[in-house]
Copies of this chain bind each other. A is one copy, B any other.
Amino acid sequence: MIHERMALRLAKYLRVLRKLKGLGFAKVFSNNLGDAVGATSAVVRKDLSVLQISGNKRGGYTIDVLIERLVDVLGKRDVENVIIVGCGRVGSALLNFQEFGREGIRVIAGFDSDENRVQENGHVPVYPVSRMAGFVEEHRIDVGILAVPDQVATAVFEEMIGAGIRGVLNFTSVELKCTAACIDQGCLGECVVHNVNIGLEIENLFYLVRIQRESSETLPAQKTPGS
């Protein structure tokens, strides 16, 4: 019923709605909400109708009602704990990522195999990676960020899944999936991996800019007459 792209939009709606509420607004139109998240008003209305939220034909939607329902549907907790595995440049930047706090995400620990990076008394403690599995089990961590070198990505990933993590944000450029090793350890393939690959995004932007340039050279200066 709720597919993945839709779930992403719902999370965006929730963020915007909380801001609007903070500014004192009480009502919102599908129009506004769409603009704020980069969707059309039709998509917004469709999404909301799937959630069985209805608005007023003239007055739009009540922000409080939307927020309440979205929190419920998304199962949003007040605080969501994550760990970071691999505290090199990328990992340690994320350790101190301000935005997380604002969105209710708390990094409760980092892990690294290099003892020079271990720092158990920091604002966010960094432990030896050998203690990761125990920590995950003890604190029942569901989601982790993987930011280790590519060479060890698969091994560390399997360790995370083995310890009970079921959602991984993957900053390596290795394609991860639940293998036999994971399944042996009790994960029946039901884990989620999302990839963040900034280099790839940049390459893709160069490509898209290039083809856009080329196509606008071919059919030049199209202006709608009369607008």
Proximity bits, A178-220, B CB within 8 Å = 1, else 0: 0000000000101110101011111111111111110010000
Interface membership of A76, Cβ < 8 A: yes
Among A28-71, those with CB < 8 Å from B are 35-38
Looking at the assembled complex, report how far the CB atom of A31 sits from the nearest CB atom of chain B, in whole angstroms. 14
- Whether B203 contacts A76 by the Cβ 8 Å rule is yes
- Are B96 and A89 within 8 A (Cβ)? yes
> Given B35, B80, B190, B203, which contacts A105 in the complex, CB threshold below 8 Å?
B203
Number of interface residues of A (CB under 8 A): 62
A206 in contact with B167 (CB, 8 Å) = yes
Contacts of A119 in B (CB 8 A): none
**Chain B residue at minimum C-beta to C-beta distance from A11:** B203
CA distance A118 to B45 in the complex (A): 46
Q: Does A7 contact B (CB under 8 A)?
A: yes
Chain A residues near B (Cβ < 8 Å): 2, 4, 7-8, 11-12, 15, 35-38, 74-77, 80, 82, 89-90, 93-94, 96-100, 102-103, 105, 142-143, 145, 166-169, 173, 175, 177, 188, 190-192, 194, 196, 198-213, 216
List B contacts of A74 (CB < 8 A): 203, 207
B192/A11 in contact, CB under 8 A: no
On whether A89 and B80 interact (CB within 8 A), knowing A169-B202, A175-B36, A199-B105, the answer reads no
List 9 A-B pairs, minimum CB-CB distance, nearest first: A167-B205, A93-B93, A167-B209, A103-B199, A192-B208, A166-B209, A38-B175, A75-B210, A143-B205
Contacts of A196 in B (CB 8 A): 196, 198, 201
- Pairwise interchain contact B206-A190, C-beta atoms closer than 8 A: no
> Which residue on B lies nearest to A10, using beta carbons?
B207
